[in-house]
Chains A and B, each alone.
Chain A
Amino acid sequence: MSDSLVFMMGQFEATFPTDRQYARNHMWARRQDSAYRFGFSAYAVRLLQDVYFLDWIVDPGTQLQQRQEIGSIESKKAEASLYAPIAGRLSAFNPELLDDPSAINVDTYGIGWLFEIRSPILDPPVGDETSGLMSARQYIAYLDQVWVVTQRTIKGQLA
């Protein structure tokens, strides 16, 4: 694999390949022809741990608004709704995950991809703009800001 950057989540090394971009909702994005392919970043997978179930509530072809709810996930540690990282037409879900989502844990940056959204090429975000996609370096800077709060949120729910 190409180069990656590392972010330390406690003792855990979360790695982020630099050959792709990242969304603020902790998904990676990689350009495939006229669409972006998305998957969970190592940060998200570390928080979820073993994924047991993935369910989509929209169909391929749906025009999505950014942050529209598109499905849900259940893992060993968590349950969550999932939201569109960018606006665009949803072109495909990874069919392999529907029966068995464990590829997310095995290879989140490869065969564990989640879905593809057709969209024009998005510029990197400027300032606090939330609609763009970040480089691995920008994403790690973002994780630096949110990691403490994320831990507190999780501990708060578990308390």
Chain B
Amino acid sequence: MKPEITVVVSQGPSHDPTKRSREHEIADRLSGRGDLEVLVVPHLNDLRPDGDSLGALRQRTGHLIVFSWLYPRAAHWILDRHRISGQRGTTRLHLDTDGEPSDETSSDPQQEPVERVIDTRTVPTRAIYCIDLRACTSADAVLQEVEHILTETGMRASRSSMAASEGNGSRPWRSIADDIQRRWYPVIDFGRCTNCMECIDFCLFGVYGIDESDTILVEQPDNCRKGCPACSRVCPENAIIFPQHKSPAIAGASSSIDGLKVDLSQLFGKPEPDQHSRQVAQQERDQQLAASANQSSDSSSIAPPSQDAPGRDTSDDTSDGMNDDLDKLINALDQFDL
């Protein structure tokens, strides 16, 4: 019989042994139950549309519980882009500072209700629960949560079958090895998107397109410029997620969170955030444009960037009047009276 719930453990790209062991422990414990199919796949963000992992997931039409090192919103909408859709399940396992997913799509009650793209779509009734592995600090808590989900979906294995599965009933998890490379692209949260088309107007690299029902879509994800999150800053609904961006707000956190590790970015030269997001976005995009112009030819085949963007002749500007980061840190720290 085809299992009606599939657990997917998506492995991170990092070599962190604590992450690997967390992935394996969860896969082991859940497959040890005997009533769940457990698939281990590479990093969700990096899967190719035509790869074995997504192929296998597309065949699963039952409920999905997806563990990944991504914010649940990011994971959900990556899957959605690959035609693996369903109702967003609410999990109690999330990073303390990552808000409840149910808060997100509710618009301000004072405002006229705005139609979101999701309102115009028929979404399959099966549920997809995306769980952030960073929130899975204990395997026991994960097992409890899965038990809760099984109850919630009415999929809970009966006592007798649970008992029967003890001892010899465990099913080993299956690992799908795809040939993957790191990818960088946006995904759209259609629970937020209003189809306003700001992003398609803004992006100069042909990432966005329009589907047959005149709805925005990420048509050419791999046209995206690595590291450039500019369109997400211009989106009025914060609907554009870059799953691999370091900033939680852009990577799909429901609300901004603090990293779990020390952030040493300033040590390595992070500039001060002193600009408005639109300016930052234009600068980021135009940097990419200048870079691609430099790469494609040594002449100016692409029009120069707009406004006061840093073009190619501004290499001096960056150091112009710039204090050292650590000088700034001193100033900042003095105010905090450590």
- Nearest Cβ in chain B — how far from A61, in angstroms? 5
- Nearest Cβ in chain B — how far from A138, in angstroms? 14
For the complex, what is the distance from the CA of A62 to the CA of B261, rounded to whole Å? Answer: 30
Describe A's contact surface by its main secondary structure: mixed
For the complex, what is the distance from the CA of A48 to the CA of B263, rounded to whole Å? Answer: 10
Q: Are B291 and A63 in contact (CB under 8 A)?
A: yes
- Nearest Cβ in chain A — how far from B326, in angstroms? 5
Q: Are A48 and B264 in contact (CB under 8 A)?
A: yes
A18: CB under 8 A from chain B?
Answer: no
Q: Which chain A residues numbered 1 to 56 have a C-beta less than 8 Å away from chain B?
A: 24-27, 44, 47-48, 52-53, 55-56
- Nearest Cβ in chain B — how far from A128, in angstroms? 8
**Range of interface residues on B (Cβ < 8 Å):** 35 or more
Contacts of B269 in A (CB 8 A): 24-25, 67, 82-85
Contacts of A76 in B (CB 8 A): 16
Contacts of A153 in B (CB 8 A): 266, 329, 333
Contacts of B19 in A (CB 8 A): 52
A78: contacting residue among B261, B271, B294, B329, CB under 8 A: B261
Contacts of A130 in B (CB 8 A): 319, 322, 324
A53: contacting residue among B16, B267, B270, B295, CB under 8 A: B16
- Nearest Cβ in chain A — how far from B223, in angstroms? 13
Q: Are A62 and B267 in contact (CB under 8 A)?
A: no
B318: CB under 8 A from chain A?
Answer: yes
B270: contacting residue among A71, A75, A78, A83, CB under 8 A: A83
With contacts A55-B182, A74-B14, A87-B315 known, is A82 near B291, CB below 8 A?
Answer: no
- Nearest Cβ in chain B — how far from A38, in angstroms? 11
Interface string of B314-327 (1 = CB under 8 A from A): 11001100101010
Q: Are A63 and B290 in contact (CB under 8 A)?
A: yes
A94: CB under 8 A from chain B?
Answer: no
Nearest A-chain residue to B17, judged by Cβ: A52
Nearest A-chain residue to B16, judged by Cβ: A52
Q: Are A62 and B268 in contact (CB under 8 A)?
A: no
Contacts of B287 in A (CB 8 A): 65, 68
Q: Are A47 and B333 in contact (CB under 8 A)?
A: no
Nearest B-chain residue to A89, judged by Cβ: B294
Describe B's contact surface by its main secondary structure: loop
Q: Are A52 and B14 in contact (CB under 8 A)?
A: yes
Interface string of B1-36 (1 = CB under 8 A from A): 000000000000111100100000000000000000
Nearest A-chain residue to B315, judged by Cβ: A87
Q: Are A146 and B262 in contact (CB under 8 A)?
A: no
For the complex, what is the distance from the CA of A62 to the CA of B268, rounded to whole Å? Answer: 19
For the complex, what is the distance from the CA of A81 to the CA of B61, rounded to whole Å? Answer: 39
Q: Are B15 and A79 in contact (CB under 8 A)?
A: no
- Nearest Cβ in chain B — how far from A152, in angstroms? 6
Interface string of B289-305 (1 = CB under 8 A from A): 01100110000000000
For the complex, what is the distance from the CA of A79 to the CA of B245, rounded to whole Å? Answer: 12
With contacts A78-B262, A101-B15 known, is A66 near B315, CB below 8 A?
Answer: yes
Q: Are A157 and B262 in contact (CB under 8 A)?
A: yes
Q: Are A80 and B263 in contact (CB under 8 A)?
A: yes
Q: Are B262 and A149 in contact (CB under 8 A)?
A: no
Residues of chain A at the chain B interface (Cβ within 8 Å): 24-27, 44, 47-48, 52-53, 55-59, 61-63, 65-72, 74-85, 87, 100-102, 128-131, 145-146, 149-150, 152-154, 156-158
**Selected A-B contacts with CB under 8 Å, 19 pairs:** A26-B267, A52-B14, A55-B244, A65-B315, A67-B322, A68-B318, A78-B262, A78-B263, A78-B264, A80-B267, A81-B246, A81-B268, A87-B315, A101-B15, A129-B319, A146-B326, A153-B266, A154-B264, A157-B263
The 8 A-B pairs with the shortest beta carbon distances in the complex, nearest first, are A57-B227, A83-B269, A53-B14, A25-B269, A80-B264, A52-B16, A81-B265, A57-B226
Residues of chain B at the chain A interface (Cβ within 8 Å): 13-16, 19, 182, 184, 226-227, 244, 246, 259, 261-271, 287, 290-291, 294-295, 310, 312, 314-315, 318-319, 322, 324, 326, 329-330, 333, 336, 338
A-B contacts besides A55-B13, A79-B263, 6 pairs, CB < 8 Å? A58-B226, A59-B295, A66-B318, A156-B338, A157-B262, A157-B263
